[in-house]
Amino acid sequence: MVRSESTSESSKKVLKNQSWMDEFSSYMGEEETSKKKGAGDDESFEELFEASQAQQAIKEGEVIDGTVVGVGAEYVTIDIGYKCEGLVPTQEFKDAQGVAHVAVGDVVSVYLERMEMENGFMLLSKDKAEIIRAWDEISVACEKDQLVEGTVIAKVKGGLSVDIGVKAFLPGSQIDTKPVKNLDKFLGKRLKFKIIKFNKKRGNIVLSRRAVVSQEREIQRAETLANIQEGSIVAGTVKNITEYGAFIDLGGMDGLLHITDMSWGRIKHPSELFAVGDEIKVKILKYDREKERVSLGLKQVTANPWDEAEYKFPLGMVVKGKVVSLKDYGAFVELQDGIEGLIHVSEMSWTERVKHPSKVLNVGDEVECKVLEVDTKQKRISLGIKQLQNNPWDDLEVKFPVGTHVEGEVKSVTDFGLFIDIGMGIDGLVHVSDLAWTKKFAHPSEKFNKGDKIKAIVLGIDKQAEKFSLGIKQLERDPWESIKTRYKVGQGVDGTVTKLTDFGAFVEIEEGVEGLIYVSEIADHRIEKPSDILKVGDKVRAEVLSIEPKERRIGLSIKQLGRSEERANYQTYVGEKSKKTSMGDILGDKLKAALKPGSDNKDE
């Protein structure tokens, strides 16, 4: 409660003459009283007259200081230096818990409501005295533009009710420099205010805390700016929280604590670490004096856990952690606050091809794994869980060495080959190039289907790359190895056109074995492209020009075959005619042939 700093002159006089009744009795000749007084006989008439004048100056409606002379259940008796004592309801001395805080001898200020009641006492009020003095003090504070203190006692429409000795109104817009959503947090608090409106007659007082806060913040801001230094650790209060960080009140100015600088570990939202109003210590990372911007760090207050990661998590060590995140390529495991390791999908199983880590792990799982690699510069730790189990690839090498014949079921058919399950949890791959020696497949599904039982031969085992290579064509001999025993250069062969290109035609001369006829070897005369003469499916006869088993190539020629056959026919003809010894015989034969009916050579 606000009290006045001055007391009326009349009240002071009354306090100096609290024993005036005894003195006045002596003046009136009451001898018994005079004997008791003894030395009081020397009191002058002038002093007694002044005391009489003082008590006559006491009027109703004044505030007077008095002394407590008695405390009762209903009333407290106060001596204000008048001919009779005054009564104040005991209730006015009680606190909220109903306890009266008053004792005999206490000096209190009271308001004189009535000079004398029927019972011979004066009616006094402690509460009214406090209110009157409060108004006086408030009036002085308002004139001198001074701050007043008060306690927020209730929420009212549009703001708060404040007790500054009398009730005053604090509008919601004047509570703080920024909008306040929760008014309850101010209830019961004692704060400083500035009076912005005062009307004693109407009993109207309007306060502002905003002006006080603004002034205090400016003072704090100046002090903060003068002392702030990069690298220093300071205390602050969380003022506001966003998705990307938190604004920290450093004392009159705000700094930004970005989410990436809050923790060495993983956090999704700043609210996981603190709430508005929390007191925290942060480090000044950067200070822009021109723009008055401050960047803060919370994790930098503690040591970087990656500095000792290499020693704390050596290669080969078995560690435990919590799965905190799943990605398509693996699972992140938190080993300690600020340090996470990655279990790649390839390190989850020796035998299964894990398409997504969720097939093996879930967020929140506690998992045991092995440290495979530590890179402190990149802040990466590679982990594996399959390494804690026996490696079936070790057994595979022993059970199925290269060259072993195996039988299994087609597990899947892809563009590049077949995956075969041989019963150990490890799939072998038959590449499309190892399906057949001679036949070319546009897709393996032309001949093989999922679930087919097939035989194959082990071609290779690569434990490091986890590759198990199988072959089907290797079960038979390569027909190209004996190609020269079946065909000779200059030999005529029959075949079917299987494919036409701009540079020639491919002709199958036996199943899986094709030869190429270049466009220049198709006819004696010049042609632009093979399709001018040939089409897929045509039956043709050609001569073998070349055989290259290693390159799996055979060169063919239709043009050359025609010339060879003409040459052979001519040689046969010459051989028969050489039996005739004269020129006449030869010319005679020609003449006969020319004169045969239907011959076109009659004019020759």
Domain 310-388 = CATH 2.40.10.230: no
DSSP symbol at 213: H
CATH fourth-level superfamily of 392-475? Nucleic acid-binding proteins (2.40.50.140)
Residue 459 has a pLDDT of: 92
Q: Which of 171-175, 383-387, 505-509 has the lowest mean pLDDT?
A: 171-175
412-455 pLDDT, tens digit per residue, is: 999 999 999 887 778 899 999 888 887 778 899 988 999 999 99
Q: How far is CA 269 from the centre of its chain?
A: 6
Inter-CA distances, 360 with 306, 324, 344, 466, Å? 28, 14, 12, 19
How far CA 114 is from CA of 107, 201, 417, 587, in Å, comes to: 20, 23, 114, 177
Average pLDDT over residues 108-131: 79
**How does the average pLDDT of the chain come out, rounded?**
80
DSSP letters, 444-497, are GGGT--TT-EEEEEEEEEETTTTEEEEESGGGS--GGGGHHHH--TT-EEEEEE
Of 206, 235, 217, 143, whose CA–CA distance to 176 is shortest? Answer: 217
Across residues 229-244, what is the average pLDDT? 87
pTM (predicted TM-score): 0.42
Residue with tokens 């001369």: 509
Q: Which has the minimum average pLDDT: 125-129, 338-342, 358-362, 429-433?
A: 125-129
Q: What is the CATH class of 228-301?
A: mainly beta
Q: According to the model, what pLDDT value does residue 500 have?
A: 93
Where does the pLDDT of residue 485 fall: very low under 50, low under 70, confident under 90, or very high at 90 and above? confident
pLDDT of residue 358: 92
Every domain range in the chain assigned CATH 2.40.50.140: 9-130, 145-213, 228-301, 310-388, 392-475
Roughly how many angstroms between the first and final C-alpha of the chain, as a whole number?
151
CATH says 145-213 is which class?
mainly beta
pLDDT interval class at 572 (50, 70, 90):
low
Contact 103, 71 (CB under 8 A): yes
Average of pLDDT values for 367-376?
93
- Kindly tell me if the per-residue pLDDT of 1 is higher than 50: no
Q: What pLDDT sits at residue 592?
A: 55
CA distance 163 to 152: 6
pLDDT, tens digit, for every residue of 28-54?
A: 333 343 334 444 444 555 555 455 544
What pLDDT score does 78 carry?
87
Largest CA distance in the chain: 208
**What is the percent of the chain where pLDDT is above 90?**
25
pLDDT over 80 at 13, yes or no? no
**Strand duo 147-156 + 107-114: pairing:** unpaired
How far apart are alpha carbons 342 and 313 in whole angstroms?
A: 13
CATH superfamily of 9-130: Nucleic acid-binding proteins (2.40.50.140)
- pLDDT value, residue 221: 75
Task: Return phi, psi of residue 105, to 5°.
Answer: 105, -15
**Res. 7: pLDDT tops 50:** no
d(CA 81, CA 55): 7
Torsion sign across C-alpha atoms 20, 25, 31, 32? negative
Instruction: Please report the pLDDT score of residue 334 as a whole number.
Output: 92
pLDDT tens per residue, range 72-106: 888 889 888 877 888 888 888 887 777 888 888 88
Cα gap 447→414, rounded to integer Å: 12
From CA 577, how far away is CA 579, in angstroms rounded? Answer: 5
Taking residues 479-495, what's their average pLDDT?
A: 88
